[in-house]
Structure 1
């Protein structure tokens, strides 16, 4: 029985790693779909013009005469859906296996069921993205949902690895460190949401130049309109509906968010500067953050080229992964190191 459970844990470890990889791919393909304006490549959901694959021009016209078929965009959109469906199957497999281990670890079961709920919500957001014609609120929530799936896959993978290594302790971090982690975590979530809001409202190049915006340090902005969250449902939001000052406000808040996040990460690094393994981990987080900032600046200066905008999304996923891993290390690795040291000391004395 123990051997069977160990095998299942190993398989779960592999499945979560596969799910983590697929989630990154789905997020990047989703960003690509967005960047090439293929989000409405298929006017319906889950099929495309009522078909499981992209149909011929004649069939598409018969289904939706007011929505001409653009084959490339339709295939990009369907490719994204196929990948997302495959990811859903991986999540179902994980839930089934985690259920069989429920008696050994209720936490694995809870995380996996939460993952299933989020992936189902993602499917709903995918449908609403099409039916509500790229409504910015839905598009932004769809992005945050994808990053939530990424976080849950990573956390579940780390939790299973802990079981495989037979290390079940949890270290209590100091209040100061816990507070800094939560502040940095919340700022990261806000910054990711702002990034999604920039993208969904097509505000990526609302500011020309850096560090100034349209030759001004604090340009004219319309914050109330830029962050008006009760926008009308119904218009086609492809290429956005907001005026220039509202888009400028969104862009500038994204810059401010990046600055605040950077300060929080530097404070975390300073707090852990005397712990070598944490210093190394937070070095990676800060390195990715700096690279992400450089890519963001380059996107503004070079007018948002496709490959660089896609790289910015990849940087966001890398930042999330590195931050979660560092947070995990801050909670567990010190205790594991102490346990290993104590075990070696016992072996030496005996």
Structure 2
């Protein structure tokens, strides 16, 4: 009875944390897209205080000294809300860890290893460190991109854990043979998200202003060496010069071109998975979000990067990652000899 109650509590907590982490990833994109990352140029507080309200005088002085700079009251609140949100996620993951280990110590363990939430706790600590470096290293592209990817790793891991805690649908023996196909879909998506993050953190969205060509050419002049040199300051080359337009074009063009590969593969993968009744709903979700990503990506170019569309594109990538992770879990659970059943009735991990 105690185990069942703890399992139910843990499962609900995992799903709530997953949903809020998705919201956090989207709000993180909003923070980046509104140039609010340096709204409070110190960490973890804001000008040494706990909120922009208390730091009002310092923020006002900084804004008056540089009206077009990165500091304003609005940007400070956006940045701090993002931090408060992240702290709340951390508290929820601590709660997961405490529940899991407490159940283990009572010798009535949950039907999931306590090392799952413990690994999430370690991951969010690393994520917090990169969040601090994002500010202290002045939005250095590689740091911001890693911060984004760690956030999505946290989301994907929570999605996997949530799937483990959810009763599986009817067993699909034939789906198990697509394990490698599903893993390839996930790997391609991760690469594309990393490329998209590199576009965003280098502000290269408008490096190509037309579609399907890029600045009137199918293969425009590009500088891959400087565009993909990882360790450099924002807007600069490794030599300390201003980054060239050709370098930004290389970043944008690579993300755009690889998108065709990813869209084609994910669409074919999802269509194939629709043959299985238990996979049809997440497969339909993948198809819908792939279309959304294509439309929002194109709209970003045609309409010159409108904020709502850019945020939707960022959120779509996160939702797509969750769907592909959950498809991978269901396909892996369809291995020959593995019986699909509710997580709470399975053997302890």
TM tier relative to shorter chain: 0.7 to 0.9
Match of 1:261 in 2: 262
Aligned in 2, Cα 1:217/1:107: closer, same or farther, shift over 3 Å?
Answer: same
Aligned in 2, Cα 1:332/1:116: closer, same or farther, shift over 3 Å?
Answer: same
Aligned equivalents of 2:213 and 2:61: distance in 1? 51
How do 1:51-66 and structure 2 match up within 5 A?
51-54=49-52, 55-60=54-59
TM-score, with structure 1 as normaliser: 0.85
- The answer to whether the 8 A contact 2:222-2:247 is kept is yes
Q: Alignment RMSD, CA only?
A: 3.1
Deviation of 1:337 after TM superposition, in Å, equals: 11
Deviation of 1:242 after TM superposition, in Å, equals: 2.5
TM-score, with structure 2 as normaliser: 0.85
Q: 2:139 aligns with which of 117, 134, 138?
A: 134
Match of 1:345 in 2: none
Aligned in 2, Cα 1:26/1:200: closer, same or farther, shift over 3 Å?
Answer: same
Deviation of 1:182 after TM superposition, in Å, equals: 2.0
Q: Secondary structure at the match of 2:325?
A: helix
Aligned in 2, Cα 1:155/1:22: closer, same or farther, shift over 3 Å?
Answer: same
Match of 2:90 in 1: 88
Match of 2:248 in 1: 247
- The answer to whether the 8 A contact 1:223-1:249 is kept is yes
Q: Secondary structure at the match of 1:161?
A: coil
Which structure 1 residue ranges, 5 or more long, are not aligned? 341-350
Q: Does 1:9 align with 2:7?
A: yes
Match of 1:180 in 2: 181
Aligned in 2, Cα 1:267/1:63: closer, same or farther, shift over 3 Å?
Answer: closer
Match of 2:80 in 1: 78
Match of 2:153 in 1: 148
* Mean Cα deviation higher: 60-69 or 47-56: 60-69
Match of 2:298 in 1: 297
Aligned equivalents of 1:324 and 1:61: distance in 2? 44
- Write out per-residue CA displacement over residues 70-114 of structure 1, whole angstroms, 9 at most, x where no aligned residue: 111111111111111111000000001111234535853122111
Aligned in 2, Cα 1:303/1:269: closer, same or farther, shift over 3 Å?
Answer: same
Which structure 2 residue ranges, 5 or more long, are not aligned? 342-349
How do 1:167-246 and structure 2 match up within 5 A?
174=176, 177-232=178-233, 242-246=243-247
* Mean Cα deviation higher: 323-332 or 140-149: 323-332
Q: Which has the higher contact order (CA 8 A, sep 6+)?
A: 2
Aligned equivalents of 1:126 and 1:187: distance in 2? 26
Deviation of 1:62 after TM superposition, in Å, equals: 8.6
Aligned length: 330
Deviation of 1:260 after TM superposition, in Å, equals: 1.6
Match of 1:36 in 2: 34
- The answer to whether the 8 A contact 2:274-2:284 is kept is no
* Mean Cα deviation higher: 278-287 or 219-228: 278-287
